Chain A
């Protein structure tokens, strides 16, 4: 196999382009041989390219149909008034004016950002600590048990988890307050006070979601050469020092991925606050996606809901772009 054959995609090298120009020359000798060889390579390259396109096409079609089209549709709909039943009516920028002066919408953005910060920070911290712990010395079977146990909540339905959490956090009859009561801590109004409700929603969310970051971190930790830690140990570095000076910098690419995914997911949180607190007390746990759902499906104002969706999309894009920008400074690749 030649070098040319293992170059399936990307711009064609100048040599190939030159060879194409010479295709008209059907002489004999080295020139002809080179020409035939290049032609065969080009055919193979074309075949590989076609194969790549064929493999990628279903995914691209899926993304276009299920992501790009709805996004464009949502942007278009955000300039209309539509209630499902009658035909859409042009509204211009009225939907945006309406939502930008709606206190519920503004509060929901604030809540979502607060939730994002708390949930992602807690999720990454717990996942990192547990990943380091599981990566330490322990029997293989026990490691597998922990990995499965931490990942398990992720495969459960968020709605059903939230129903259980609602029972657990119930102020009057919930086991959480009962447990706290046994050690003398007075009953906490988990779901009925503003701070308590946000804490309950964050805890329910983190409990379910940290398994994903945990798995990423376990993979990332396995990629850190043991020799680096051993060298640090020989130099007399403590365990904490080794993690701060070696593990974290070398894990920073994984941390970036986990935080990007975590933030995108957290900004779209819906099930936990919807089931646990219905956005209350007051608006204290109402998130942006809840507002989109309520505005569209409960109040039949699909145009305004789309406008809120467009703003959320812009927020997610902005936060993600900011993360990648900051990553240039803080992420270290080996």
Chain B
């Protein structure tokens, strides 16, 4: 026990420390100091546009920014390219920015995130689209209504699609030649597909994989589900949206359109879904394709261009990638996905979503309109890294250097197969995709694993869909 004198002294000393600390804190609080807000470009009144990375064609990104500045010199703009592995990763990073209080005004969002952003973060574009209807008429006339409908949520338009990619089939010409096979017909079936894979396997040796596919929402099992006239979740249309269809699309094109897609009850344990998994499982057992976890798009261009893979599903974005890998237009070609019960294809589209947190909504709308202009899209998508949403841009000149010969397939997947629709992407899309990937891996591990895995997928999807996002 210490004596009272020491305690008093100690008390005085600690009191002095406390007073000193308080004085310091007071000085610090009153000091006109630098904060995070002083970082150049932050909170400087710029319109902030978050895009997915700038790895591909950064010049085009700069041109987009500079071009917008020329047209709207009164609007300060900052492009914020967010590096991400995939759309899910990108959305996570955007949400982190929002949580940190540095939300952008506009975010480039693909089908995977349209409903998530629309439901929780987005602003409907209806009033601006109605106001500037005259200006937008040429745009809508050039864009397939399915793409626009995929950007609607509960009757409101949330984005103007600027690009899309449908899942068509790329075929390596050299591999076809070695197999003694011709390019398949437009109307080929999944049986024709299996026969072709077997022929490729016979003529290309052990270290060759006829079909390469990835395990994810886009380009994975879903196109096979669509071709079998089923889906992961029941699909219906929200009411509303008449204002848009009546304003911009002729009768024939607006028939059956609604206010955007609704994906609700899971269908994973249905017979048609099981049929698809059984089929894919049989291809794996026969060594005609990769296991789903083995597929990774990052290595795909390399193995396809060197002839170690015969067929793979991809969209127009591959034309640019294969060209970069040194493939000539004649080295490969593209066909529709093989038909089963239907010829329905899947696609994913993308455009700019306006966030509720934005204080520059009119300026943001001007940017959205600007990016939908044909001259801007032509400049932005010069490298064929995607399929432009405008039909008139998908022409012979675009694919003369990069190929493929049947480039018409890209837009015809929408025009000639009107049932073609977006991948199932409800607001719970991240969890849905994660569950799909996980249980697809288990389902295709062995022939007897399909049904138990699909039952578990069904249960988990039901739980996810009941959960509020």
Contact = CB atoms under 8 A, between A and B. Distances in A.
12 contacts: A20-B5, A20-B6, A84-B98, A166-B296, A171-B290, A172-B290, A173-B207, A192-B292, A278-B437, A280-B293, A281-B293, A282-B453
Given A170-B299, A192-B291, A282 B95 contact: no
A279 B436 CA distance: 13
B441 interface: yes
A298 B430 CA distance: 6
A85 B96 contact: no
B434 A281 contact: no
A170 B298 CA distance: 12
B92 interface: yes
A20 B437 CA distance: 73
B36 interface: no
Nearest to B433: A298
Contacts of B439: 282
Nearest to A297: B92
Nearest to B303: A173
B445 A83 contact: no
A192 B431 contact: no
Given A172-B290, A281-B441, A298 B92 contact: yes
Contacts of B431: 298-299
Interface in A163-195: 163, 166-167, 170-173, 178, 189, 191-194
Contact of B294 (A17, A171, A282, A297): A171
A115 to B, nearest CB: 18
A192 B5 CA distance: 74
B323 interface: no
B92 A192 contact: no
A171 B296 CA distance: 12
B309 to A, nearest CB: 9
Contacts of A84: 95-96, 98-99
A277 interface: yes
Contacts of B183: none
B95 A300 contact: yes
B299 A173 contact: yes
Contact of B293 (A21, A85, A192, A300): A192
Contacts of A178: 207
Contacts of B209: 172-173
B308 A173 contact: yes
Given A85-B95, A172-B209, A281-B442, 12 more contacts: A20-B6, A21-B3, A84-B98, A170-B299, A173-B303, A173-B308, A193-B445, A278-B437, A279-B438, A280-B293, A281-B445, A300-B430
A142 to B, nearest CB: 37
Contacts of A192: 291-294, 441
Interface in B266-296: 290-294, 296
A312 B79 CA distance: 38
Contacts of A5: none
A294 interface: yes
A75 B296 CA distance: 37
Given A170-B299, A280-B437, A191 B293 contact: yes
B434 A191 contact: no
Contacts of A191: 293-294
Interface in A244-298: 277-283, 294, 297-298
B46 interface: no
B120 interface: yes
Nearest to B442: A282
Contacts of B54: none
A170 B96 CA distance: 32
Contacts of A193: 445
Nearest to A170: B294
Given A84-B98, A85-B120, A173-B303, A280 B294 contact: no
- The interface residues of chain B, by DSSP majority, are classed as helix
Nearest to B209: A172
Interface string A16-37: 0100110000000000000000
B327 to A, nearest CB: 17
Contacts of B445: 193-194, 281-282
B87 to A, nearest CB: 11
Contacts of A277: 293
A297 B434 CA distance: 12
Given A170-B294, A171-B294, A298-B430, A282 B438 contact: yes
B88 interface: yes
B438 A280 contact: yes
A300 B469 contact: yes
A166 B294 CA distance: 9
Nearest to B121: A85
A189 B444 CA distance: 13
A211 to B, nearest CB: 27
Given A172-B290, A281-B293, A282-B439, A298 B434 contact: yes
Contacts of B121: 85
B120 A280 contact: no
A283 B438 contact: yes
Contacts of B95: 84-85, 297, 300
Contacts of B292: 192
Contacts of A189: 291
Contacts of A172: 207, 209, 290, 294, 303, 308
Nearest to B427: A300
A183 B453 CA distance: 36
Contacts of B437: 278, 280
Interface in B424-469: 428, 430-431, 434, 437-439, 441-442, 445, 453, 469
Contacts of B428: 299
Contacts of B98: 84-85
A282 B454 CA distance: 12
A167 B95 CA distance: 30
Nearest to A192: B291
A145 B325 CA distance: 37
B49 to A, nearest CB: 20
Nearest to A84: B99
A273 to B, nearest CB: 12
A193 B299 CA distance: 20
A154 to B, nearest CB: 23
Nearest to A171: B294
Contacts of B434: 294, 298-299
